Protein backbone atom coordinates (compact mmCIF):
# COMPACT_ATOMS: atom_id res chain seq x y z
CA UNK A 1 0.00 0.00 0.00
CA UNK A 2 1.11 3.38 -0.86
CA UNK A 3 0.66 6.34 1.31
CA UNK A 4 -0.04 9.68 -0.07
CA UNK A 5 2.28 12.38 0.81
CA UNK A 6 1.14 15.09 3.20
CA UNK A 7 1.40 17.81 0.55
CA UNK A 8 -1.38 16.43 -1.59
CA UNK A 9 -3.98 16.05 1.18
CA UNK A 10 -6.06 19.21 1.81
CA UNK A 11 -7.84 20.11 4.98
CA UNK A 12 -11.52 21.02 4.84
CA UNK A 13 -11.61 24.58 6.10
CA UNK A 14 -15.13 25.63 4.94
CA UNK A 15 -18.47 24.37 6.23
CA UNK A 16 -20.84 23.07 3.57
CA UNK A 17 -24.09 24.99 4.23
CA UNK A 18 -26.19 23.37 1.52
CA UNK A 19 -27.54 20.55 3.76
CA UNK A 20 -28.34 23.08 6.50
CA UNK A 21 -30.31 25.25 4.05
CA UNK A 22 -32.17 22.17 2.75
CA UNK A 23 -33.23 21.17 6.26
CA UNK A 24 -34.27 24.76 7.10
CA UNK A 25 -36.45 25.02 3.98
CA UNK A 26 -38.13 21.70 4.73
CA UNK A 27 -38.92 22.92 8.25
CA UNK A 28 -40.37 26.17 6.88
CA UNK A 29 -42.59 24.24 4.47
CA UNK A 30 -43.83 21.99 7.28
CA UNK A 31 -44.60 25.06 9.39
CA UNK A 32 -46.52 26.74 6.57
CA UNK A 33 -48.60 23.63 5.96
CA UNK A 34 -49.45 22.92 9.60
CA UNK A 35 -49.98 26.52 10.86
CA UNK A 36 -53.50 26.99 9.41
CA UNK A 37 -54.62 23.72 10.97
CA UNK A 38 -53.44 24.79 14.40
CA UNK A 39 -55.27 28.14 14.43
CA UNK A 40 -58.80 26.65 14.24
CA UNK A 41 -60.41 25.38 17.42
CA UNK A 42 -61.83 21.87 17.64
CA UNK A 43 -65.14 23.14 19.00
CA UNK A 44 -68.05 22.21 16.73
CA UNK A 45 -69.91 25.37 15.69
CA UNK A 46 -72.53 26.15 13.09
CA UNK A 47 -71.56 29.43 11.44
CA UNK A 48 -74.29 31.92 10.44
CA UNK A 49 -75.01 32.58 6.81
CA UNK A 50 -74.26 36.03 5.42
CA UNK A 51 -77.14 37.75 3.70
CA UNK A 52 -75.62 40.82 2.13
CA UNK A 53 -77.29 40.66 -1.28
CA UNK A 54 -80.68 39.58 0.02
CA UNK A 55 -81.67 43.14 0.98
CA UNK A 56 -81.31 44.33 -2.61
CA UNK A 57 -83.73 41.73 -3.96
CA UNK A 58 -86.60 42.12 -1.52
CA UNK A 59 -88.98 44.97 -0.79
CA UNK A 60 -87.77 47.16 2.06
CA UNK A 61 -88.25 50.53 3.73
CA UNK A 62 -85.35 52.94 3.37
CA UNK A 63 -84.58 55.54 6.03
CA UNK A 64 -81.97 58.10 4.96
CA UNK A 65 -80.17 60.37 7.42
CA UNK A 66 -78.22 63.35 6.08
CA UNK A 67 -75.33 65.16 7.71
CA UNK A 68 -77.49 68.24 8.24
CA UNK A 69 -80.06 66.25 10.26
CA UNK A 70 -82.61 65.92 7.45
CA UNK A 71 -84.33 62.55 7.24
CA UNK A 72 -86.33 60.73 4.60
CA UNK A 73 -88.46 57.61 4.62
CA UNK A 74 -88.18 56.08 1.15
CA UNK A 75 -88.56 59.12 -1.15
CA UNK A 76 -90.47 61.36 1.29
CA UNK A 77 -88.64 63.84 3.55
CA UNK A 78 -89.78 63.86 7.18
CA UNK A 79 -88.86 65.83 10.26
CA UNK A 80 -86.81 64.06 12.93
CA UNK A 81 -89.75 64.32 15.35
CA UNK A 82 -92.12 62.52 12.96
CA UNK A 83 -89.71 59.75 11.91
CA UNK A 84 -91.39 57.15 14.13
CA UNK A 85 -94.86 57.95 12.80
CA UNK A 86 -93.67 57.82 9.18
CA UNK A 87 -91.97 54.43 9.66
CA UNK A 88 -94.99 53.05 11.55
CA UNK A 89 -97.26 54.24 8.70
CA UNK A 90 -95.09 52.46 6.09
CA UNK A 91 -94.95 49.28 8.17
CA UNK A 92 -98.74 49.32 8.62
CA UNK A 93 -99.34 49.15 4.86
CA UNK A 94 -100.55 45.76 3.58
CA UNK A 95 -97.73 43.33 2.84
CA UNK A 96 -95.13 45.24 4.87
CA UNK A 97 -95.34 43.06 7.98
CA UNK A 98 -91.78 42.02 8.82
CA UNK A 99 -90.26 44.08 6.02
CA UNK A 100 -86.58 45.04 6.30
CA UNK A 101 -85.90 48.66 7.32
CA UNK A 102 -82.59 49.83 5.84
CA UNK A 103 -80.94 52.83 7.50
CA UNK A 104 -78.70 54.82 5.16
CA UNK A 105 -76.56 57.42 6.94
CA UNK A 106 -73.74 59.60 5.64
CA UNK A 107 -70.31 58.83 7.08
CA UNK A 108 -70.15 62.35 8.54
CA UNK A 109 -73.44 61.91 10.42
CA UNK A 110 -72.81 61.76 14.19
CA UNK A 111 -73.26 58.28 15.64
CA UNK A 112 -75.65 59.64 18.27
CA UNK A 113 -78.09 60.68 15.50
CA UNK A 114 -77.92 57.22 13.91
CA UNK A 115 -78.41 55.54 17.28
CA UNK A 116 -81.39 57.77 18.08
CA UNK A 117 -82.94 56.96 14.68
CA UNK A 118 -82.42 53.22 15.24
CA UNK A 119 -84.22 53.45 18.59
CA UNK A 120 -87.13 55.37 17.05
CA UNK A 121 -87.40 52.86 14.20
CA UNK A 122 -87.40 49.93 16.62
CA UNK A 123 -90.12 51.56 18.76
CA UNK A 124 -92.15 52.19 15.60
CA UNK A 125 -92.51 48.43 15.20
CA UNK A 126 -89.66 47.41 12.90
CA UNK A 127 -88.63 43.82 13.51
CA UNK A 128 -85.76 43.69 11.00
CA UNK A 129 -83.31 46.62 10.79
CA UNK A 130 -80.12 46.86 8.72
CA UNK A 131 -77.52 49.57 8.26
CA UNK A 132 -76.48 50.16 4.66
CA UNK A 133 -72.78 50.18 3.86
CA UNK A 134 -70.80 50.18 0.67
CA UNK A 135 -68.37 47.44 -0.16
CA UNK A 136 -64.64 48.08 -0.11
CA UNK A 137 -63.48 49.34 -3.45
CA UNK A 138 -66.91 50.72 -4.37
CA UNK A 139 -66.82 54.38 -5.32
CA UNK A 140 -69.01 56.77 -3.38
CA UNK A 141 -71.97 58.10 -5.42
Banded model confidence at residue 85, pLDDT cuts 50, 70, 90: very high
> 5-9, 34-38, 74-78, 125-129: which range is least confident on average?
5-9
- In a domain, residue 78? The reply is yes
Pick the closest to residue 62 from 93, 119, 105 (CA basis). Answer: 105
State whether residue 36 is helix, strand or coil: helix
CA angle 98, 104, 108 (to 5 degrees): 150
| Average pLDDT of the segment spanning 12-16 | 83
16 found inside a domain: no
Mean pLDDT for the chain overall: 79
In a domain, 74, yes or no: yes
- Report the C-alpha gap between 12 and 67 in whole angstroms: 78
Question: 60 in a domain, yes or no?
Answer: yes
In this predicted structure, the answer to whether residue 4 has a pLDDT above a threshold of 60 is no
Instruction: Name, in order, each residue with C-beta under 8 angstroms of 111's C-beta and a sequence gap of 6 or more.
Output: none
Give me the count of residues in the chain: 141
Residue 66 resides in a domain: yes
Question: How many structural domains are present in the chain?
Answer: 1
Asked if residue 117 belongs to a domain, the reply is yes
80 lies in a domain?
Answer: yes
Q: Is the pTM of this model over 0.95?
A: no
Residue 89 lies in a domain: yes
For residue 83, give the CATH number of its domain.
Answer: 3.30.420.270
**pLDDT tens column, 15-26:** 888 999 999 999
**Domain hosting residue 76, numbered range:** 54-131
pLDDT of residue 33: 87
What mean pLDDT comes out for the span 61-87? 87
Q: Give the confidence band of 122 by pLDDT, cuts at 50, 70, 90.
A: very high
Amino acid sequence: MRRRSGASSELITKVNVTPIIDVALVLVIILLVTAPMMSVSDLPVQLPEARTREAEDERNVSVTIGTDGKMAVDDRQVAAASLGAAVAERLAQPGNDGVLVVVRADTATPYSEVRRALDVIRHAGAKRIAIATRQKGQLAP
